[in-house]
Structure 1
Amino acid sequence: MRDGLQAYCRECRAEYQQAGQVARGRDVRPRVRTSEGHEFRRSRGQVEPHSGRHRSAAACDGLATRCRTSCAAQGREDHLGRKYGLTASERDQLIASQGGVCCTSPAALPEHVDHCHETGRVRGVLCFSCNAALGQFKDRPDAIWRAAAYVEGIAWKPTLVAPGVYQLPS
């Protein structure tokens, strides 16, 4: 129109266009009415609040296209592929082959992929504590054996050689 306004409101215009698509025999998704601050997510089939999405300056509505939970899940999958060359299903197969427990401490749940830092080969899936411990020991078996001996009390039990003179085991 000359005044810059349309003849119909947005809702009426959308219904008019949808009726035209149906008349042409095209498949049209049904409209789902939502309250202010909410939207219907077709991927999940449910209404979700806008507060579940990140802000995005590039988007016309100021909101990111994906919700926070799907962004986080996709980020984890992308990390597995980039860092280890694994998919989520391959990681799940590794966990199943381990019996669903951490390789080094069977009471813990495996969550972190362990790999050799020299070759990049994936060794298994460990719990957070075991994966961090191996990283702190720089994957050196000799350091791990010394730590195990220390914890068992073998390495630091001094023997009395002479009065006031102690010798540590080698």
Structure 2
Amino acid sequence: MRHMSDLPGRSDKICPDCKRLLPRTEFHSDRRRTGGLAFYCKSCANARSEVSRRKRGVSPQRRSATPVGQGLKWCPDCEQIKPLADFPTIRAKASGRHSYCKPCHNDRSKEPAQRLYGGTREYHLRRRYGVGQKEFDELLAEQGGVCAICERPDPEHLDHDHRTGWVRGILCFNCNGGLGQFRDSPMRLARAITYLRGTTWQRALIHPGVYQMCSPTRGRPPSPRS
């Protein structure tokens, strides 16, 4: 049963914990609840949060020693007050921003990868493709250290079958992107080859060691410049 103070448009609300009738500004926003406000007032919610943190063995929440103005936010890691734009966005929090600023947030994201895998590169390969840098280097050595398609040296992109996840080879940026644009479809690639052969000047062998340039079979020449 909804309390009358929870109805939209009311200017005050009763906190069921401290039993006080308080302005709606004394409650955190909560889009999931009717009326858009949290169940408990800010002071009671903070007290309950601290009790829960102590039971779970979590260290007390740190707060800024100086007041934080409108449009600003304090980062607990670097202990600096920064504009809200310096914090990553997140829909799950009422403030719409992460607790840590972007540099600190990125460092925290890299820490598990460094600790568990020795670096973000190994973490990325293991998480997405199921192989590590060792397997990557072995596969590249089997290809002679070049892209499996254009043979450009030192390719860096691991190609895989998006349907099965099977690793296929190491490609350069352009070849890997090209396969993706053609959606890994041999039929589309074959049609592209047919299209290029019909619209591009070709060098045809007419005698041993003698070639002749043949014009496209379809298409139209560019308009003469005015």
TM-score by length of 1: 0.50
TM-score by length of 2: 0.38
Using CA pairs below 8 Å that are at least 6 residues apart, which structure has the higher relative contact order?
1
